[in-house]
Amino acid sequence: MSDGALIALTAEAAAARIADGSLPAAEYAEAYRARAAADRAAADDGLNCFTWVADSVGDHRAGPLAGVPVAVKDLFCTAGVPSQAGSRLLEGYLPPYTATAVRRLEDAGATSHAKTNQDEFAMGSSTENSAFGPSRNPWDRERVPGGSSGGSAAAVAAGLAPWALGTDTGGSIRQPAALCGIVGLKPTYGSVSRYGMIAFASSLDQAGPLTRNVRDAALMLRHMVGRDECDATSLDYPLEIRLPAREDLAGVRIGVPAELTADGIEAGVLARFSEALALAEGLGATIEQVTLPTAPHGLAAYYVLAPAECSSNLARFDGVRYGHRVEGADLTEMYTRTRHDGFGREVRRRVMLGTYALSSGYYDAFYDRAQRVRTLIAEDFARVFASVDIVATPTTPTVAFRLGEKTADPLAMYLSDYCTVPMSLAGIPAISIPAGLVDGLPAGLQLAAPAFKENELLDAARALELALAFDGSAAYV
């Protein structure tokens, strides 16, 4: 089979062909491995999607995903393989164990031969905060792929991986998926184990799939969910994730929150959003205006809570036991130099913000208040979901921006997550699917559902995906 024909296969289709013997697993995996290795070798001439690519494809287990390679975001610990979370501090770090989410995919037969680039410790919306250089958007190499799972998104969009594993804290799967014209799903908080994910903000981090279509997202998620003894916050997923087959939206009530669909959203993005809603109506959905009055405060709450948690989560990177160390005259100097030198600017900024927010005398004004905002946002969603099945918004306010365009203005960068953060704070599942192009660049449609309603969410996303008929093949390299 030609490379082009292999790349055109969805992961689901490839798994089926490997299973029926019409596609040799080694040939399929090697085609992707070689493409990933070529991107890595191309350095600045490539997309810089990968931080590590294996020299050869390994064995795989029997199972429903047998032989299908998955690109894994750098921050997942994979035994004996560099797992650096995009940070200089963890450059060359080889964990002794494999993250549960990765292990479950491997148990289902998937292989992994590549780790993908990301913003350092998942802090960023452009992958420009990686210690290993920015990734590029395959739709326009002068633009960012989004972040923090930018390497995963760009790799899937460019046909350098059939699908990829990412993590989402405030939008880190959905936003790059939108900017790269692919599907990205953030599951219900607690449905996928966080064990082995190098933590950014524990109460928000969730692993999820980045794929070329909705059925692949469902397929990957099916093999990731479930209680893990090693993660006290993980939960038994109440039912099996189905592969969505629905082609209409009859009886589905879609709520459109004014707060996330008006101010600050680019006209082109809004246009694609409106067209998608019109298509949904054509498929039988009813569209209702709803209100999420607290949602606009989500970003402010998020930028207290996530930095607060990260300031503590990143304290273990002290140069004592592993990773980068810069010697000093005494212990304090060793700590200071190691962390100053090992962390990039954005990480240092957030550690400082979080340290401040948790400080004695400021806790009530910042952390506690932000937690209360979070509760109010969750209550907003609960109220809205009493009358609608799905909430729809644009995934991001803009299409992919230029490399360097927002690096000097962190607040502008933070606004990229304006539409995705509220769902993260509420812990509910949300998916981004391509809604079309704006001047040749993809725009995303975000759909959200109540906790553990992934099946209903995937059904709606699948029906819309079929109707939208987005073709992302122009981005293949």
Partner 1 sequence: MSDAARYEAVIGLEIHVQLSTRTKMFCGCELSFGEEPNTRTCAVCLGLPGALPVANARAIELGLMIGMALGSELAPRSVFHRKNYFYPDLPKGYQISQYDQPLCRGGHLGEIRIHRVHLEEDAAKLIHVGASGRIHGSDASIVDFNRGGTPLAEIVTEPDLRSAEQAGEWLRLLRTTLRQLGVSDVNMEEGSLRCDANISLRPSGSDALGTKTELKNMNSFRFLERGIRAEIDRQREILEAGGEVVQETLHFDPATASLTALRSKEQAQDYRYFPEPDLLPVAIDEAMLAAAREAMVELPAARADRLERELGLSAEAARTLAFNAELGDYYDRALAAAEVDARALANWLSDLVGRLGDERTPAESSVTPAALAELVALVEGGEITTAGGRQVLDVLVREGGEPRAVVAAQGLAAIGSDDELAALVAAAIDANPDAAERIRSGNAKAIGPIVGHVMRESRGRADGAEVARLVNEQLGV
42 binds partner 1 (CB under 8 A): no
Name the minimum Å distance from CB 381 to partner 1.
20
Q: Which is nearer to partner 1, 95 or 429 (CB)?
A: 95
Sole residue written with tokens 């998942």: 122
| H helix runs in 329-453, sequence order | 331-342, 345-358, 369-384, 410-414, 421-426
Q: Which is nearer to partner 1, 194 or 406 (CB)?
A: 194
Cα–Cα distance for residue pair 272/284, rounded to 1 Å = 19
Q: Which is nearer to partner 1, 233 or 387 (CB)?
A: 233
Interacting residue with partner 1 among 97, 266, 270, 466 (CB under 8 A): 97
Side chain identity, residue 94: L
Backbone φ and ψ of 309, nearest 5°: -65, -40
- Catalytic residue at 172? yes
Which helix (H) or strand (E) segment is 445 a member of? strand 441-448
Name the minimum Å distance from CB 81 to partner 1.
13
Contacting partner 1 within 329-388 (CB under 8 A): 331, 335, 355, 358-360, 363, 367
316 binds partner 1 (CB under 8 A): yes
196 binds partner 1 (CB under 8 A): yes
Name the minimum Å distance from CB 323 to partner 1.
8
412 binds partner 1 (CB under 8 A): no
Side chain identity, residue 442: P
Token readout for 63 is: 């199972």
Interface segment toward partner 1; rule CB under 8 A; list 14-22, 58-66, 313-321, 448-456: 313-321
447 binds partner 1 (CB under 8 A): no
Which helix (H) or strand (E) segment is 155 a member of? helix 150-157
Token readout for 158 is: 């460019």
- Catalytic residue at 203? no
231 binds partner 1 (CB under 8 A): yes
Q: Which is nearer to partner 1, 251 or 361 (CB)?
A: 361
- Catalytic residue at 424? no
Cα–Cα distance for residue pair 214/177, rounded to 1 Å = 12
Interface segment toward partner 1; rule CB under 8 A; list 125-133, 223-231, 264-272, 434-442: 223-231
Torsion of CA 408, 142, 38, 323, to 10 degrees: 0
Interacting residue with partner 1 among 86, 95, 255, 422 (CB under 8 A): 95
Interacting residue with partner 1 among 96, 251, 289, 408 (CB under 8 A): 96
Instruction: For residue 98, give Cα distances in angstroms to 55, 285, 456.
Output: 19, 42, 31
Interface segment toward partner 1; rule CB under 8 A; list 49-57, 230-238, 264-272, 397-405: 230-238
Distance of alpha carbon 313 from the chain centroid: 19
Instruction: For residue 366, give Cα distances in angstroms to 205, 293, 349.
Output: 20, 20, 16
Listed in sequence order, the residues at least 6 apart from 162 whose beta carbon sits closer than 8 Å to its beta carbon are 9, 10, 11, 14, 32, 68, 69, 70, 156, 212, 216
Beta bridge partners of 242: none
Q: Which is nearer to partner 1, 152 or 313 (CB)?
A: 313
202 binds partner 1 (CB under 8 A): yes
Name the minimum Å distance from CB 60 to partner 1.
23
Which of 148, 191, 193, 311 is catalytic? The answer is 148
Side chain identity, residue 207: A
Token readout for 338 is: 């190691």
Contact 463, 248 (CB under 8 A): yes
Instruction: Give catalytic residue positions.
Output: 73, 148, 172
* Residues binding partner 1 (CB under 8 A): 75-77, 83, 85, 90, 93, 95-97, 99, 194-199, 201-203, 229-233, 308-309, 311-312, 314-318, 320-322, 331, 335, 355, 358-360, 363, 367
